[in-house]
Amino acid sequence: MMIFNKKNIEDLALFGGNPLFKEPLHVGRPNIGDRKILNQRFNQILDNKWLTNNGPFVQEFERKIEKLLRVKHCIAVCNATIGLEIVIKAVGLTGEVIVPSFTFIATAHALKWQEINPVFCDIDPKSHNIDPEKIEDLITTRTSGIIGVHVWGRPCAVEALTVIAEQHHLKLLFDAAHAFGCSHQGTMIGNFGDAEVFSFHATKFLNTFEGGAIVTNNDDLAAKIRLMKNFGFCGYDNVIHIGTNGKMNEFSAAMGITGLENVQTFVQMNNKNYQYYRQYLDAFPGIHLIKYDDTEQCNYQYIVIEIDEQLTNISRDYLLDILHKENILARKYFFPGCHNMEPYHSFNPDAGLLLPETEKLITKVIVLPTGTSTNETDIKMICKLIGFTIENANMIKKAMNSK
Ligand code: T4K
Interval 259-313: pLDDT, tens:
999 999 999 999 999 999 999 999 899 999 999 999 999 999 999 999 999 999 9
Candidate of 32, 103, 105, 203 to mutate for ligand 1, largest count of ligand atoms within 8 Å of Cβ = 203
- pLDDT of 35 reads 96
- pLDDT of 121 reads 98
Q: How far is the CA of 48 from the centre of ligand 1 (A)?
A: 31
Q: Return the percentage of the chain with pLDDT > 70, whole number.
A: 100
Q: How far is the CA of 329 from the centre of ligand 1 (A)?
A: 13
- pLDDT of 400 reads 87
- pLDDT of 283 reads 87
Write the pLDDT tens digit of every residue in 355-396: 999 999 999 999 999 998 799 999 999 999 999 999 999 999
Ligand 1: atom nearest CA of 84 is 9
Closest C-alpha among 261, 208, 254, 200 to residue 46? 254
Q: How far is the CA of 332 from the centre of ligand 1 (A)?
A: 13
CA 215, CA 194: separation in Å to the nearest integer?
Answer: 9
Q: How far is the CA of 199 from the centre of ligand 1 (A)?
A: 10
Q: How far is the CA of 356 from the centre of ligand 1 (A)?
A: 26
Region 41-65: what's the mean pLDDT?
98
Q: Return the percentage of the chain with pLDDT > 90, whole number.
A: 96
- pLDDT of 25 reads 95
Other CB atoms within 10 A of residue 79 CB: 22
Write the pLDDT tens digit of every residue in 151-201: 999 999 999 999 999 999 999 999 999 999 999 999 999 999 999 999 999
Q: How far is the CA of 28 from the centre of ligand 1 (A)?
A: 7
pTM, full prediction: 0.97
CA 75, CA 282: separation in Å to the nearest integer?
Answer: 42
**Residues within a 6 A CB radius of ligand 1:** 26-30, 79-81, 103-104, 106-107, 149, 175, 177-178, 199, 201-203, 212, 329, 333
Q: How far is the CA of 47 from the centre of ligand 1 (A)?
A: 31
- pLDDT of 5 reads 86
CA 336, CA 291: separation in Å to the nearest integer?
Answer: 23
Q: How far is the CA of 200 from the centre of ligand 1 (A)?
A: 10
Q: Using 50, 70 and 90 to split pLDDT, how confident is the model at 2? A: confident
- pLDDT of 28 reads 85
- pLDDT of 279 reads 97
Q: Which residues of 239-263 are buried (b: 16+ CB within 10 A; e: fewer)?
A: eeeebbebbbbbbbbbbbbbbbebb
CA 361, CA 335: separation in Å to the nearest integer?
Answer: 9
Region 314-319: what's the mean pLDDT?
96
Ligand 1: atom nearest CA of 29 is 46
- pLDDT of 12 reads 97
Using the predicted structure, report yes or no on whether residue 81 has a pLDDT greater than 90: yes
Region 201-226: what's the mean pLDDT?
98
Q: What angle do CA 383, 388, 392 make, to 5 degrees?
A: 150
Ligand 1 atom 5, closest CA = 104
Candidate of 78, 199, 248 to mutate for ligand 1, largest count of ligand atoms within 8 Å of Cβ = 199
CA 95, CA 206: separation in Å to the nearest integer?
Answer: 33
- pLDDT of 249 reads 98
Ligand 1 atom 40, closest CA = 28
Q: Using 50, 70 and 90 to split pLDDT, how confident is the model at 402? A: confident
